[in-house]
Structure 1
């Protein structure tokens, strides 16, 4: 996985070229020194949180656009390998960046020990984003799944068959489903392949006899 510095350097070069900005003009807009900007574009140094926020404002982009690496079909972010960006009061790491399209749904899922769920493909263009919050979980496209621990993150295409299987006990995860327009599931349970909801006994309709 490329470092944060590599991603920032590539995105800065691209954004500056797209906007036709010199380093001097970018420095004036961001109030970041020209030498610092030059080092960041070369992939040198450890960018501070405050510096990156200033650059995002100067480029008129979201913070995540400066950190986003080159996209891959299955994107894995290991908690032990992904660097945090530190500031004066907070440290953060970018898990993923979602461009608004269609509908986005958020779920918390609990996977029972010993279970294995093989999910049929969702609609075309659906993406799944999953952050393991406890336990270990095997997840992802069939034949290309990955084993994750608490704190690990994965993004993968949901429009191909995929699997969820806890490893060594139960597991829990936060799942974000990104549905393009026209690709919504028929019911919420289909979005996360949850077991069917229990049937609810309804009172008989007027004139009907219970027990028929």
Structure 2
């Protein structure tokens, strides 16, 4: 994440969710494995979290990622300019959360996802279901022992609870990632490696 506004949204949401859970900063640090100083910086709006950090906090607090990253829209029309959205990065993936959709009993997060060649993004699992639509390039995604190979126009969906990977086959990949959470579908200790 990069902008001051996004940092303030994360700071406010993280503190509110932690306090609502009745958890101290020290307890959140212990449960998440994230240093207390780092958490303090995030809650003050001074931190610069990675994908790993945000997904770990999501899993530890038992909330969708979007609960941490999005402010409530104030109008009926929502226009999101990609250039205005902060990027969460890891060793292989750049994610930009474009929208959170609160449906009846489901939350869906919409991401612009870019996967860089030469690295493998590994996840030990997290709440929900992943939906991936590749728009450019060829992507290996899914369980590490039997990933799916998907190209432009291809779509794959799988439960996100188990280990899974993202890896390019040849060159960079552009895709749309939807994370779908059923009501109450959040479990502790989920994170990207």
Give the TM-score normalised by structure 1.
0.46
Question: Greater RCO between the two (CA within 8 Å, min separation 6)?
Answer: 2
Give the TM-score normalised by structure 2.
0.50
